[in-house]
C-alpha cells in the first residue's frame, strides 16, 4: 500500500511551509531586492556599492542583535535603519525603502497544484502555515485555507527550532504524531518537523532518505496526486 495512504488516517492537521513549497520564490526575492535597491539609489547610494554596504550593516546588526535572525522583517528594517542613520537620512526613509521591498515580496504566484491540494485537504484536515518568511497569506489570497498562521518572529522562533511546531500542536490540541508538515527544506522543514515529533513531507528533487517519518516527493504535484488517491480511497 502507498505509504502516504497508510499514514494519513492517523493525521489530524497538516502544516505547510510557503516559500519554494507553495510557490517558486526565487524571482520574487530578486524583484523585491531590486525594488529595495532602486529605492536606495534614489536616496543617493551608488548601485555598485549597495551589496557591500548592506552586508556590512547586516553583519553589524546581527552581531549586536542576534535575536533578530528569527524575524526577517525586523532584521531587514533594522539594517535599513542603520544605513539611513549612517547617511544622515530621515528616519522615515528606512520605512519607505522597506515598504518597497515588502510590497514586491508579496507578488508570488501560488502553484495551481497548491490551490487544488489546499482545496481538498481543507475538507478533511485542520491546516496551518509555519513559515520563516514574511509573505502575508491574506494579501496572497490563500488565508481562508488555514486555521492558523505562524510566522517566525511575531509568532515564534525560526525553524529549525521546534517552537512554532509545538505551538501548532497545542493550538490544534493534537499529539505530536498527529501532525504532518510539508516543506522543501531538508533541515528547516523536514528535520525540524520530525524533531518536534511529527511526520514530514519533503518536496525536494534531491535523492535523500531521512527515515520512515519523512516521505519525499520530487514535486508538489506528485504529493497532490497521492493525496487525491487517499481521499478517493
**Domains of the chain by residue range:** 3-24+109-232, 27-105
> Which pLDDT band, with edges at 50, 70 and 90, does 233 fall under?
low
pLDDT band for position 1 (cuts 50, 70, 90): very low
How far apart (Å, rounded) are the C-alpha atoms in residues 81 and 90?
9
C-alpha 56/C-alpha 211 separation (Å) is 40
Q: What does residue 56 show for φ and ψ, rounded to 5 degrees?
A: -60, -45
Would you say domain 27-105 falls under CATH 1.25.40?
A: no
At residue 110, does pLDDT exceed 90?
A: yes
CATH number 3.30.479.10 is the correct assignment for the domain at 3-24+109-232: no
Spacing of C-alpha 91 from chain mean position:
29
Q: What is the mean pLDDT of residues 135-154?
A: 97
Which three cell numbers mark 134? 514574511
Strands laid side by side in the 214-217 sheet: 148-151, 126-131, 13-16, 179-183, 199-203, 214-217
- For 45-79, how does the pLDDT look when each residue is reduced to its tens digit (9 = 90+)? 999 999 999 999 999 999 999 999 999 999 999 99
The residue behind cell 480511497 is 233
pLDDT for 120 beyond 80: yes
Asked if the domains at 3-24+109-232 and 27-105 fall in one CATH topology, the answer is no
Amino acid at each position: 500500500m502507498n505509504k502516504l495512504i497508510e499514514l494519513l488516517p492517523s493525521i489530524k492537521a497538516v502544516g505547510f511551509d510557503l516559500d519554494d513549497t507553495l510557490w517558486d520564490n526565487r524571482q520574487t526575492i530578486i524583484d523585491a531586492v531590486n525594488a529595495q535597491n532602486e529605492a536606495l539609489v534614489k536616496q543617493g547610494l551608488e548601485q555598485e556599492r549597495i551589496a557591500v554596504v548592506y552586508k556590512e550593516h547586516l553583519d553589524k546588526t546581527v552581531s549586536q542583535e542576534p535575536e533578530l535572525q528569527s524575524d526577517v522583517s525586523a532584521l531587514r528594517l533594522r539594517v535599513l535603519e542603520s544605513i539611513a542613520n549612517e547617511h544622515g537620512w530621515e528616519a522615515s526613509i528606512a520605512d519607505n525603502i522597506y515598504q518597497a521591498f515588502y510590497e514586491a515580496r508579496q507578488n508570488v504566484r501560488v502553484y495551481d497544484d497548491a490551490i487544488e491540494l489546499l482545496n481538498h485537504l481543507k475538507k478533511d484536515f485542520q491546516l496551518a502555515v509555519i513559515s520563516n518568511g514574511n509573505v502575508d497569506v491574506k494579501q496572497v489570497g490563500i488565508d481562508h485555507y488555514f486555521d492558523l498562521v505562524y510566522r517566525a518572529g511575531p509568532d515564534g522562533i525560526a525553524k529549525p527550532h521546534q517552537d512554532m511546531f509545538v505551538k501548532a500542536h497545542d493550538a490544534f490540541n493534537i499529539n505530536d504524531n498527529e501532525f504532518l508538515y510539508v516543506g522543501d527544506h531538508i533541515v528547516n522543514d523536514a528535520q525540524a518537523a520530525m524533531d518536534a515529533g511529527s511526520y514530514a513531507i519533503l518536496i525536494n528533487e534531491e535523492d535523500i532518505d531521512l527515515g520512515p517519518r519523512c516521505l519525499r516527493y520530487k514535486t508538489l504535484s506528485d504529493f497532490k496526486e497521492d493525496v487525491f488517491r487517499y481521499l478517493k480511497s
